[in-house]
Structure 1
Amino acid sequence: MSSGMQRYTRRTLAREILLILAGLGWLFPLYLLLLTSLKPDSQIFSAPTDLPTSLDVGNYAEAWSSADLGRALFNSMVITGGSVALLIVVGSLSAYTIARRPGRWSAVFYLLFVVGIIVPSQLGLIPLYSMMRSLGLVGSYVGIILLYGGLWIPMAVFLYTGFIRAMPKDYEEAALIDGATPFRTFWRVIFPQLRSVTATVATLCGILVWNDFFTPLIFLSGTDKVPLPLAIYEFVGSVATRWNLVFAGILVALLPVLILFVVAQRQLMRGFSGGIKS
């Protein structure tokens, strides 16, 4: 074996070991979470790495009923699903206009969207709350979905714009020559080709909305529309130190996101790499 091949093998081995260690480091908190969620009450204050003397799966049923996780799960699904649908429709249409109508104003709007990614959304929460309260949208599904649409539309437009700019114009030009309107051309010709970046927008923005705690705390507290993160927060205060129940509830909240990421990770990477092209 040549020295070049040996160097390559050693480098590859070192890289693989590093990635395995990083993966184990990422999985270790999930392992502790699962372990603690299955412990009986008698082992709550034992060492985190101690194996449970018996697997108490009843913790999940008790956490589900005590924290009303079924209702919170439904709320999270409605809020996340509605927000993602709004982001896909508005984000793709806005990005198509910016990408296919080059000019000074398109550049200005694109720059504003990029700035929207950088500026912390918390800076505008006070005027947003006042405006939404005056419109009667505080504590409603419609209000929080519109709010998330406004907060994450810069990210959606940024990803869609880069992807559309890299696409050839042949098919849409042929459709326009055949008499199709720009709107019809977009939905029939362009949008079907945006599957990978749409999966990226849906996964990335969906995870951000699903895991958000601060925004629902401001706009949904005290209502029956609280999502999972806020329901878990309220549950922690009600069960004091019964961490096995708390961790069971947290695992229930994490499970949909983990499944979504595992299923969509390939599309996520492909769409993100295409979305950053200009």
Structure 2
Amino acid sequence: MREIIVIAIALAMLIPFYFLIVMAFKPDSEVITTSAYAPAQAPTAGAFAEAWGAEGNKSLAMGMLNSIIITGGSVVMLVAIGSITAYSISRMPGRPGKLLRVLVLIAMILPFQLGMVPVYVAMRNLHLLGTYPGMIILYTGLFMPLAVFLYSGFAESIPRDYEEAANIDGASKFQSFVRVVFPLLGPATGTVAIMCGLIIWNDFFSPLIFLSGSNIPTLPVVVYSTVGELASRWNVIFAAVIISMIPILVYYLVAQKKFIQGFSGGLKS
């Protein structure tokens, strides 16, 4: 019975994907004249070719490249800085370590919109608006509390014996972290990379504000522009949505093992 319920829920969650695929393969003549439930009578991939062939700020290829650069750069910074920050906090004794953990939690709770205007003004003064480094720095600061929080549980579960053994062999603190501790944080790294990567890839509001007027729109902004221009051509719009989903789905399928390990618990000594 439980398996039947789970399968039924999974099928219900796949209904939107059915609509996406059915509408994307319909020719223009069937989009309005046939029901959204009905499969295409004369399936065609023309909508995909048209969506992918758009140029300028509506180019899916350009938007995908921009999203890959911004998401990839942000994830690398979050992993590099978040892991060593969480490790340092976990090894900090007494009240300073507890205070920093509380500050991380407070930073996670506070909404970004409260500081959006000062951040915008600061980025404008630093000439970071509409640039790759500006968006990478923005997302790194925005999701650093989440990355530190996810890393902290794993860092605290790693026995100090590993580090002490490395120190006895002559390794410095940094070398013991890079060669011993960080490889053991693999499941947490996968969780941080996937969670933050998914959020950054799908984020629409921040690129709309901080990349407005630039030539590097991200994929959600490109899809939004496509919807605004092709309000009645749902086959092209849905084809653009499917194309925008492919990279992040492939990314998740490749890294899902680490993601599941990250939620299943810390390191067992």
Q: Which amino acid aligns with 1:38?
A: F
Residue 100 of structure 2: aligned partner: 109
Question: Aligned partners of 1:233 and 1:32: how far apart in 2?
Answer: 19
Q: Is the 8 A contact 1:83 1:148 kept in 2?
A: yes
Residue 39 of structure 1: aligned partner: 26
Deviation of the 1:185 alpha carbon:
0.8
Q: Which is further off, 214-223 or 97-106?
A: 97-106
Q: Which amino acid aligns with 2:212?
A: S
1:72 corresponds, among 63, 88, 110, to 63
1:1-24 deviations in Å (ceiling 9; x for gaps) = xxxxxxxxxxxxx21111111111
Deviation of the 1:266 alpha carbon:
2.6
Mapped pair 1:231 → 2:225: no
Q: Which amino acid aligns with 2:51?
A: A
| Runs (5+) with no aligned partner, structure 1 | 1-13
Mapped pair 1:52 → 2:40: yes
Question: Aligned partners of 1:145 and 1:276: how far apart in 2?
Answer: 30
Question: Aligned partners of 1:276 and 1:25: how far apart in 2?
Answer: 36
Question: Aligned partners of 2:188 and 2:175: how far apart in 1?
Answer: 20
Residue 3 of structure 1: aligned partner: none
Mapped pair 1:120 → 2:111: yes
Q: Is the 8 A contact 1:159 1:275 kept in 2?
A: no
Question: Aligned partners of 2:139 and 2:158: how far apart in 1?
Answer: 28
Evaluate the alpha carbon distance shift between residue 218 and residue 276 of structure 1 in structure 2; reply closer, same or farther with a 3 A threshold: farther
| Runs (5+) with no aligned partner, structure 2 | none
Q: Which amino acid aligns with 1:145?
A: I
Match of 1:149, SS state, is helix
Q: Which is further off, 209-218 or 234-243?
A: 234-243
Q: Which is further off, 172-181 or 227-236?
A: 172-181
Residue 15 of structure 1: aligned partner: 2
2:145 corresponds, among 149, 154, 162, to 154
Evaluate the alpha carbon distance shift between residue 209 and residue 101 of structure 1 in structure 2; reply closer, same or farther with a 3 A threshold: same
After superposition, residues 75-90 of structure 1 pair within 5 angstroms as 75-90=66-81
Deviation of the 1:117 alpha carbon:
1.8
Mapped pair 1:218 → 2:209: yes
Match of 1:20, SS state, is helix
Deviation of the 1:273 alpha carbon:
3.0
Structure 1 vs Structure 2 CA RMSD: 1.5
TM-score, with structure 2 as normaliser: 0.94
Evaluate the alpha carbon distance shift between residue 30 and residue 275 of structure 1 in structure 2; reply closer, same or farther with a 3 A threshold: farther
Deviation of the 1:254 alpha carbon:
1.0
User: % of aligned pairs identical?
Assistant: 47
Evaluate the alpha carbon distance shift between residue 112 and residue 275 of structure 1 in structure 2; reply closer, same or farther with a 3 A threshold: farther
* Number of residue pairs aligned between Structure 1 and Structure 2: 264
Deviation of the 1:183 alpha carbon:
0.8
